[in-house]
């Protein structure tokens, strides 16, 4: 295992076949912390991320906002292991830099990316990775389907589901392995307004239950403020705002506190290239 593990015994984790039954009965592991040190990402001559330093404590819900093309999705892809950084280190837990192998991170994409030829239950089982074939895999997949309210539809094809339901299955697939860090790449971007709100409440509920570390990339400032403990803003490849949102949950949409914060962030986002550090924290 490439990351330091603080909750489970190291030898059990390092074994070639994890003791799945024990893992199934045990309460879910809490979130893993994430540290980025001097991370740079460049595509050819174009530098997308410049020298990002960031520490996210385990279990925190962090939202990243920014204009399109600012590098927020690139940052998420680096954390999710979909791309390699040009320079710098990405560390999970308090251990050494991450190498290949079973990752503590699960990524949820903007599109559901369900396999159309596998039924809904089988799609959820994909999230179990190598544990897929163990005895309790099906039970666990069923349990997760139950949590998203689609347990009756496990045998159906994904093509019969609505957009919101598909995204819920994608969430179940991400959750089923009980990841310690869940990275969301605008997962609700393609949904209609009502389904979005429903899914936001659902996400919050799941996060409060499982307490994984959450990294949410979004262009919707209100979504970030409703869900996150902390909002980061990325401009031109650097983090230019790091704002703790210390409001009680569940947050009421349209409350004055949220509206004021939203205005503040939107003003900053919409302002052109001038960057006097008015709201630096």
Partner 1 sequence: MSDTPWIVAAEIAPPVQRARRWLAPPTIGRGLLAWVVPALLLVFWQIASSVGWISDTVLPSPLKVAQAGWTVAKSGALFENVEVSFLRAMAGLVVGGAIGFAFGLANGVSKLSEHLTDSTLQMLRNIPHLSLIPLVILWFGIGEEAKLFLVALGVFFPIYLNTLHGIRTIDPQLLEMGKSYGMTNSMLFMRIILPGAMPSILVGLRFALGIMWLTLIVAETIASQSGIGYMAMQAREFLQVDLVVFSILIYALLGKLADSVARFLETQCLKWHPSFQSGPRA
Let me know how long the chain is.
281
| Helix H or strand E encompassing 268 | helix 256-270
What residues from 46 to 85 belong to the interface with partner 1 (CB under 8 A)? 80-82
- Do residues 202 and 168 touch, judged by C-beta distance below 8 A? yes
Q: Could you say which of 4, 8, 30, 157 contacts partner 1 (CB under 8 A)?
A: 157
Cα(215)–Cα(238) distance, rounded to whole angstroms?
Answer: 17
Size of the site for partner 1 (CB under 8 A): 25
- H-only helix segments in 17-162: 20-25, 72-79, 120-126, 137-147
- 14 touching partner 1, by CB under 8 A: no
Member of 38, 69, 97, 129 binding partner 1 (CB under 8 A)? 129
Helical spans, DSSP H, in 107-189: 120-126, 137-147, 163-175
Is residue 115 at the binding interface for partner 1, with CB under 8 A as the rule?
yes
Q: How far is the CB of 123 from partner 1 (least distance, A)?
A: 10
Q: Quick one: 165 or 200, whose CB is closer to partner 1?
A: 165
The radius of gyration computed from the CA coordinates of the chain, to the nearest angstrom, equals: 19
Residue 279, number of CB atoms within 10 A of its CB:
13
Among 33, 60, 85, 103, binds partner 1 (CB under 8 A): 103
Closer to partner 1 by CB, 16 or 116: give it.
Answer: 116
Positions in 159-218 near partner 1 (CB under 8 A): 159-162, 173
With contacts defined by CB under 8 A, name the span among 47-55, 126-134, 190-198, 250-258 that binds partner 1: 126-134
Question: Locate tokens 């994984």: which residue?
Answer: 212
The correct pick among 53, 102, 139, 152 for binding partner 1 (CB under 8 A) is 102
As measured in angstroms, the least distance from the Cβ of 273 to partner 1 is 33
Nearer to partner 1, 166 or 268 (CB): 166
Nearest to 249, CA basis, from 226, 224, 218: 226
129's enclosing H/E stretch is none
Check residue 109 for interaction with partner 1 (CB under 8 A). Answer: yes
Please report how close the Cβ of residue 113 comes to partner 1 at its closest, in angstroms: 4
The answer to whether 127 contacts partner 1 (rule: CB under 8 A) is: yes
Between CA 258 and CA 263 the distance in angstroms is 9
**Binding-site member from 40, 42, 47, 111 for partner 1 (CB under 8 A):** 111
How distant is the alpha carbon of residue 185 from its chain centre? 7
Contact 114, 107 (CB under 8 A): no
| Interface residues toward partner 1, by CB under 8 A | 80-82, 102-103, 106-107, 109, 111, 113, 115-119, 126-127, 129-130, 157, 159-162, 173
């Amino acid at each position: 295992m490439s990351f330091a593990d603080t909750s489970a015994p190291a030898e059990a984790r390092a074994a070639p076949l994890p003791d799945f039954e024990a893992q199934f009965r045990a309460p879910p592991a809490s979130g893993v912390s994430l540290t980025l040190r001097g991370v740079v990402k460049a595509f050819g001559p174009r530098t997308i991320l410049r020298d990002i330093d960031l520490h996210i404590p385990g279990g925190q819900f962090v939202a990243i906002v920014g204009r399109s093309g600012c590098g927020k999705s690139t940052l998420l892809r680096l954390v999710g292991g979909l791309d390699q950084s040009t320079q710098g280190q990405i560390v999970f837990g308090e251990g050494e830099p991450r190498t290949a192998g079973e990752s503590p991170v699960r990524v949820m994409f903007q599109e559901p990316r369900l396999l159309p030829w596998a039924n809904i239950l089988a799609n959820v089982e994909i999230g179990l990775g190598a544990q897929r074939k163990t005895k309790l895999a099906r039970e666990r997949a069923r349990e997760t389907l139950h949590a998203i309210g689609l347990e009756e539809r496990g045998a159906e094809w994904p093509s019969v589901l609505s957009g919101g339901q598909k995204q819920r299955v994608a969430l179940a697939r991400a959750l089923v392995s009980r990841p310690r860090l869940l990275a969301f790449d605008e997962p609700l971007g393609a949904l209609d307004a009502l389904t979005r709100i429903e899914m936001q409440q659902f996400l919050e509920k799941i996060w409060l239950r499982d307490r994984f570390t959450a990294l949410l990339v979004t262009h919707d400032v209100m979504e970030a403020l409703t869900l996150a403990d902390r909002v980061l803003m990325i401009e031109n490849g650097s983090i230019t705002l790091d704002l703790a949102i210390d409001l009680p949950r569940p947050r009421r949409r349209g409350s004055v506190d949220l509206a004021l914060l939203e205005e503040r962030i939107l003003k900053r986002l919409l302002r052109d290239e001038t960057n006097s550090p008015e709201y630096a924290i």
